[in-house]
Structure 1
Amino acid sequence: MKIINGKLLAQNLRDSIANEVKQYSRPPGLAVILVGDDEASQLYVRNKSKACVEVGFYSDQIHKSANITEEELLSEVNRLNENQTIDGILVQLPLPSHIDSNKIIEAIIPEKDVDGFSSENVGKLSLNKPFISPCTPKGIMKMIASIKYDLKGKDCVIIGASNIVGRPMSMELLNAGATVLVCHKHTKDITDKVKTADVVIAAAGVAHLVKEDWVKEGAVVIDVGINRLKDGSLTGDVDFNAVKDKVSAISPVPGGVGPMTIAVLLENTLTAYKARLIDS
C-alpha cells in the first residue's frame, strides 16, 4: 500500500512555480475576495494568500461585509477584471444566501477565472481543450499520475456530484480514457457500485462514509473530504485505518488533496499570468 503524499507533491509544485516566477519582471497577482466572517473561509483565504507570498506572487486579500449587496460585489469583481496587476480572481465560497454565486462566478472574465468554475472554462474542459481547470480535480489527476497509474480503461467511481469536485472530476477522468460513474444522493445501491471501482474518489463531505467493505482489493482511493470531528481533529470521507491495508494506494486527510488544491491554484494563476503576457 502506498500513501500518496499530497503535501510533498504540492511542495514540489510550489518550488517549481517559485523558480519560474523569478524570471519575470512583474509578479503574478492573485486577488481573493472573502465575504463575511466564516471561520473556515477565513482560514482558507489566509492559507491561499500565504502560499502566494511564498512563491513570489502578489496577493490582494479583499474582505467584504456579509451584508454586501450582489451589485456591490459584482462591481468589485469588475474592478478586478480591469486591474492590470491582477492575473487571477477567486471568490471564496460559500457566499451569503442573498447573493447568486453563479452570477458572481460568471462575472469573472475567463482569463482570470483561476478556480476554473466559469461556464467557458468548464466547457473547454468538457471538450478536452482545457485552459484553466478546477483546482481540486486537477490536483487529484497529478496525485494519480505521481504513482504512475494508467487510467485508460479503468473503472472510476466518484462519490459526490458537486460543481467544484464531482462534475469536473468526471471530465478529467473521461479525458484520461477512464470509464466513469458519478454517485450522488439519488444513487441506488451505492456500496455495490463503489465495490466495482479500480479508482474511488470520495467527495461527499461525510466523515468515514467509505468503509473497508466498500472498496475492492488493490483499488486506488483518493479522499477529498475534510470533516471536523467533535474532538477538533480532521478526518476524510474514507475510514483510512480500516481501508489502507486493502488498497494499493490512498491519500490521507490531512496532507492529501488539500495541499494539492492550493498548489494547483498557484499553477492556474501562473497559467493565467503567462497567457496575459502573450496577449499583451
Structure 2
Amino acid sequence: MILLDGKALSEKIKEEVKVEVAELVEEKQITPGLAVILVGNDAASATYVASKAKSCKNAGIYSVVHEMPESITQEELLETIARMNENPKLDGILVQLPLPKHIDTTVVLEAIDPLKDVDGFHPYNVGRMVSNLDAFLPATPFGVMRMFEEYGIEVSGKNVVVIGSSDIVGKPMASLLINAKATVTVCNSRTKDLAFFTKAADIVVIAVGVPHLLKADMIKDGAIVIDVGINRLDTGKLTGDADFEDCKNKCSHITPVPGGVGPMTIGMLLKNTIKAAKLREKREKK
C-alpha cells in the first residue's frame, strides 16, 4: 500500500509557487495578490482563512483578509466584491464558504470577476472546465488530479466512482476525470446499493462528510481510495469518509485524513493565484 502524502506534495507545490512569484516580481514587476472575504465567525472557516493568509505570505503573495460581520447585507457584500474586482493589485478573490443563510451564495459567486475567480466556482469557469477548455479549476479536485500526476496514477480508461455530487468537489471532480478519459460513475446519498458500484471501481473518490462510510468490503483488491472527507468525531479526532484502518491493507494507494487531500487545496489555490497574475500581466501588455 502506498500512502498518498498530500502534505509533502503541498509543500513542494508551495515551493514551486514561491519561485514563480519571485520570477514575476523580478521580471515583470508584478506581485500576485489574493483577497479573501470571511463573513461571520465560524471557527473552522477562520482557521482555514488564516492558513491561506500564512501560505500567501510565505510564498511572497500579497494577501488581504476582509472580515465582515454575520449581519452584513448581501448588497454590502456585493459592493465589497465590486471594489475588489476593480482593484488592480488583486489577482484573485475568494469568498469563504459557507455564507450566512440570508445571503444568496450563487449571486455572490457570480459577482466575482471570472478572471479573478481563483476558487473556480463562477459559471464561466465551470462551463469552460466542463468543456475541457483553459479555466480556473476548483482547488480540491485540481489537487486530486495533481496527486494522480505526482504518483504516476493513470486515470485514462479506469473505472472511477465519485461518491458525492457537490458543486465544490463531486461535480468538478467528475468533470476533470471525464476530461482525462476515465469512465466515471457519480453516486450520492440516495444511491441504492453503493457497494455495487464501488466494488467495480479501480479508483474511488469519496466526498460526502460521513465518517467511515467506505469499508474494505466495498472495494476490490488493489483499488485506489481518495478520501476528500474530513470529519471531527466526538473524541475530537479528525477522520475521513473512508475507514482508513479497514481499507488500507486492501488498497494499492490511499490518502490519509488528515494529511491527504486537505493540504492540496491551499497549494492549488496558490497555483490559481499565480495563473491569475500571469493573465493580468498579459492583459496589461496589450
Give the TM-score category using the shorter length.
Answer: over 0.9
Work out the percentage of aligned pairs sharing the same amino acid: 51
Q: What is the distance in 2 between the residues matched to 1:194 and 1:130?
A: 31
Which residue is equivalent to 2:270?
A: 266
Which residue is equivalent to 2:108?
A: 104
Tell me the amino acid that sits aligned with residue 4 of structure 1. Answer: L
Query: Of 127, 144, 148, which residue of structure 1 is paired with 2:148?
Result: 144
Query: Of 187, 190, 193, which residue of structure 2 is paired with 1:189?
Result: 193
Helix, strand or coil: the match of 1:149? coil
Q: State yes or no: 1:15 paired with 2:15.
A: yes
Q: CA deviation at 1:145?
A: 1.4
Q: What is the distance in 2 between the residues matched to 1:155 and 1:130?
A: 25
Tell me the amino acid that sits aligned with residue 217 of structure 1. Answer: D
Q: State yes or no: 1:228 paired with 2:232.
A: yes
List structure 1 runs of 4+ shifted beyond 2 angstroms: none
User: Could you tell me the TM-score, scaled by structure 2's length?
Assistant: 0.97
- CA RMSD in angstroms comes to 0.7
User: Could you tell me the TM-score, scaled by structure 1's length?
Assistant: 0.99
Q: CA deviation at 1:195?
A: 1.0
Which residue is equivalent to 2:5?
A: 5
Residues 152-184 of structure 1 show CA distances to partners (whole Å, capped at 9, x for unaligned) of 110000110000000000000001000001101
Q: State yes or no: 1:28 paired with 2:32.
A: yes
Q: CA deviation at 1:186?
A: 2.0
Q: CA deviation at 1:26?
A: 2.9
Query: Of 247, 254, 269, which residue of structure 1 is paired with 2:251?
Result: 247
Question: Where do 5+ consecutive residues of structure 1 fail to align?
Answer: none
Query: Of 177, 189, 193, which residue of structure 1 is paired with 2:181?
Result: 177
Residues 113-155 of structure 1 show CA distances to partners (whole Å, capped at 9, x for unaligned) of 0000000000000010132110000100011112211111100
The question of whether the paired residues in 1 share the 8 Å contact of 2:157 and 2:183 is answered with yes
Query: Of 61, 85, 93, which residue of structure 2 is paired with 1:89?
Result: 93
Which residue is equivalent to 2:260?
A: 256
Which residue is equivalent to 1:50?
A: 54
- Say how many residue pairs are matched: 280
The question of whether the paired residues in 1 share the 8 Å contact of 2:128 and 2:134 is answered with yes
Q: What is the distance in 1 between the residues matched to 2:233 and 2:15?
A: 33
Q: CA deviation at 1:203?
A: 0.2
Tell me the amino acid that sits aligned with residue 165 of structure 2. Answer: A
